[in-house]
Amino acid sequence: MASEGAGTAQDLVRSFEALAAEFQIEVAGLSSEDEIRFAQSRYLGKKGRATELMKLLGRIPQADRPGVGVAANQAREAIERLVEVRLTALSQAALTAELGRSVDVTLPGRGVRKGSLHPLSRVRVEIEQIFHGMGFEVRTGPLIETEWHNFDALNTPADHPARDMQDTFFVEGGRILRSHTSPVQIRTMLAGPPPVKIIAPGNVFRRDDDATHTPMFPQCECLHVDKNVSFEDLKATLITFVQRFFGPATDIRLRPSFFPFTEPSAEVDASCFLCQGKLPARSTCRLCKGTGWIEIGGSGMVHPNVFKAVGYDKFDVTGFAFGMGLSRMAMLKYGVADLRLFYENDLRFLQQFPAG
Q: Decide if residue 198 touches ligand 2NL (CB under 6 A).
A: no
CA distance 274 to 295: 14
Q: To the nearest whole angstrom, how small is the minimum distance from the Cβ of residue 240 to ligand 2NL? A: 18
- The verdict on 150 binding ligand 2NL (CB under 6 A) reads no
CB of 264 to ligand 2NL, least distance (A): 11
Q: Residue 330 Cβ, how far from ligand 2NL at the closest point, in Å? A: 14
Task: Considering the complex, state which of residue 292 and residue 323 has its C-beta at the smaller distance from ligand 2NL.
Answer: 323
Question: Are 353 and 334 in contact, with CB atoms under 8 Å apart?
Answer: yes
Beta partners for 202? 219
> To the nearest whole angstrom, how small is the minimum distance from the Cβ of residue 181 to ligand 2NL?
8
Of 150, 182, 271, 318, the one binding ligand 2NL (CB under 6 A) is 182
Interstrand relation of 293-302 and 262-271 (parallel, antiparallel or unpaired): antiparallel
Which CB sits closer to ligand 2NL, 219 or 271?
219
Three-class SS state of 316: coil
Q: Does 186 bind ligand 2NL (CB under 6 A)?
A: yes
Binding of ligand 2NL by 259 (CB under 6 A): yes
Of the candidate residues 194, 202, 277, 323, the single one contacting ligand 2NL (CB under 6 A): 323
Q: Please list, in sequence order, all residues whose beta carbon lies within 8 angstroms of the beta carbon of residue 86, skipping any fewer than 6 positions away.
A: 27, 28, 30, 36
State which residue, 66 or 195, has the beta carbon closest to ligand 2NL.
195
User: What Å distances lie between residue 333 and 182, 202, 294, 325, 345, CA to CA?
Assistant: 24, 19, 11, 13, 19
Residues 19-48 that bind ligand 2NL (CB under 6 A): none
Binding residue count for ligand 2NL, defined by CB under 6 A: 20
As a whole number of angstroms, the distance between CA 225 and CA 344 comes to 38
Residue 221 within binding range of ligand 2NL, rule CB under 6 A? yes
State CA 80 to chain mean position distance.
Answer: 59
Give Cα 279 distance to the centre of its chain: 47
Task: Give least dist CB 254 to ligand 2NL, A.
Answer: 12
Rounded CA-CA distance 147/239 in Å is: 33
- Site for ligand 2NL (CB under 6 A): which residue of 205, 293, 322, 342? 322
**Would you say 40 and 75 are in contact if contact means Cβ atoms under 8 Å apart?**
no
Q: Does 312 bind ligand 2NL (CB under 6 A)?
A: no
- The H or E element containing residue 92 is helix 65-100
Within 13 Å, how many C-alpha atoms sit on residue 317's CB side? Answer: 22
Where along the sequence are the contacts to ligand 2NL (CB under 6 A)? 182, 185-186, 219, 221, 223, 259, 261-262, 297-300, 302, 306, 321-325
